[in-house]
Structure 1
Amino acid sequence: MLNLVLISNPETRRVQLFQQALERCELPPARSISYADLLACRCDLAQFDSPDTIFRFDAPERSFEVDRGFIAAGAELEPEGRHQRISGSAAAQLPADLGRIWYQRQWYLGWCECLKIWTANLQGRILNHPDDIIVMFDKVRCQQILATAGIPIPPILSIDPNDSKSTIAKLMDDRNINRVFIKLAHGSSASGVVAYDRRNGFERAITTVERVVEAGELRFYNSRLIRQYRDADAIADIIDFLTCESVQIETWLPKARLEGREFDVRVVVISGQARQAVIRVGNSPMTNLHLGNDRREITDLPPGLSPTIWAEMLATCERAAACFPNTFYCGIDLLIAPNLKDHYIIEMNAFGDLLQGITWNGEDTYTTQVKMLLTEYNK
């Protein structure tokens, strides 16, 4: 019998779906441990540990209490960094400010530190292992690993930690590149993403970032409303803020089109095999479904994309997942070029399995995971 421990923010939809998958497979529910309880030292994973225990960390999302805890945990780490910083005691008192982007690098450092501490001496199996989660939560390191393994990725423009809007603009001019993506290195769900277009004295930033100036204070928020900025100073404010928190800067590649709009594909790889996948048809350069983009089934792929080429693309996703051998499942964002042959891995997501309503062999992602675990367990 599988002995599962689920570490999560219990109020999220992910937990409900995973527990439903266990019930569907006639298994007892996983023991649920909250990030909030671990951060407050109200429990310790060691008390649930045994060689036959499987620990599953889920996305630490939708809890400002937990965010505060990770920001506090990162207060004394990387003291020479350029990022915003706040003391641990002050972090614990931060007021909830829905959608605000702040202390992102410090949050990441604290998240990494907590994962390492919580799992340091566990005997049980961990899905996915913190070593892999930590890298996939850093877009710069993740893409470097993929490139080293020969996985096709968009060309990287820069990995200089001291970049700013002015240095990025100079690089674009020097390399005759008009369009780049600037991505918050530790963001998720398109948080802190800027599609930056610069040519002939004209510049434009298409972004999920909302720039707010109020009472003399400059603040930045995540937004589901995609904004366009054309004012040079406003664009500089956004890009300079993001670069201080660490960013991935890559060439903005064209995508194949479906129904007259660009699309990409989220592919979920489970136990090394590409399973569920969804087409994300974009109304903007950011194709995340929660931003109001449309989704289509894989059967809706353009007819010009041959089954052989599609199989090669899925094989690339599996090779990318294999770069993280201690990861049981991950979500991979696949860019298909307009020629329907070339393709690139644009992002890896350690918690990219939330594809509601998308099935493979009639199964959702969570049911597939449970069944594949059962198969391994019963061998």
Structure 2
Amino acid sequence: MRAGVLVDRDLRLAVREGWIRAAEPITDTQVQPASLDLRLGPIAYQLRASFLPFRQTVQSRLGEELGDSDLVIDRLPLAAGATLQRGSVYLVPLVESLALPPELRGRSNPKSTTGRLDIFTRVITDGTPRFDEIRPGYRGGLYLEVSPQSFPVRVHAGASLNQLRLLAGQTSMSDAELARTYGETPLLYDDDGRPIPIERAVFNDGLCMGVDLSGRLTDGIIGYRANPNPPAVDLARVDHYDPAEFWEPIKRPARDAYILEANRFYILVSKERIRVPPEFAAEMVVYDAGAGEIRTHYAGFFDPGFGFGDGSVLGTKVVMEVRAREVPFMVYDGQTSFKVWFERLRGRPERVYGVGLGSSYQHQTLTLSKQFRRPQQG
């Protein structure tokens, strides 16, 4: 099998070949340019704690009958919807399962909306020591750990909170390869639509990007901080909620720095605009755990065409889900906060992000999740 990230036509073939299986038919709307949306099954198990199955199956850790274990606190049916509480840990068997050939492996990430609602999710598979990574040739079920952090969230069976990528062989690009690609097709643009010269781009096991504290395009608002005691958010409701009930806007600071409070959740935005050409997929990853006491993202996948579209889009801002850890932390305008890995595809996808797809965030600046009404900006 040719190396690269599987694209939409490959994913449809994987379904036909039985490499991706499902208790209910997989729909075309689940198939993204280089990923597959995974769906919640009919039951959520509230757990005492998170866990990894290590050398056993998930089911054996939970008891022979799912939920028959002292690890499980409660079972919540999701067919009519259920509200998941902040700070609690839930495990949901997903509708999809896998029977991968030996040359295929997988990786999972939360969807953008999931991250922007501060819902901590990660996939667990049988006999694995790591979250979100699916070993080559894996055969078995997929389970999603879900832990809302800032808002209670109402979810229904069939909803998609995370995505799956399948990969064959060597997919990642070295910094030298990434720099050559940048020289041919600039990957970062500024807010005036000008490519950022390659001499100013920073490559460090990926393409580095910074945080924007200028508020230039958002009427002086640089971000949002989650309110401490909000109502619940129903994920099925789009353009429904008043942001003021859930978020506090953050005004541009008097100087080019802002202090993030410990253990508070923020939505910020990147200084640069990124383009992902249709020949590549990308993933947002932590820059360096030693470079700051913050977690800078939950959702990481960028599909081919993000910030590119049909070629007319000159980059798109990256929305950052940020949480300071044990201590308050000061960030500076333009400070490197994350990096982006680029990966080769097995071929060009039939459809790219923002072209013929319901792509919610192609032209975003500082954008909350789609459940919230868009604030009016001058």
Compute the TM-score of the two structures, normalised by the length of structure 2: 0.29
Higher relative contact order (CA 8 A, sep 6+): 2
**Bigger proportion of residues as strand:** 2
If each structure's helix is expressed as a fraction of its own residues, which one has the higher value?
Answer: 1
TM-score by length of 1: 0.29
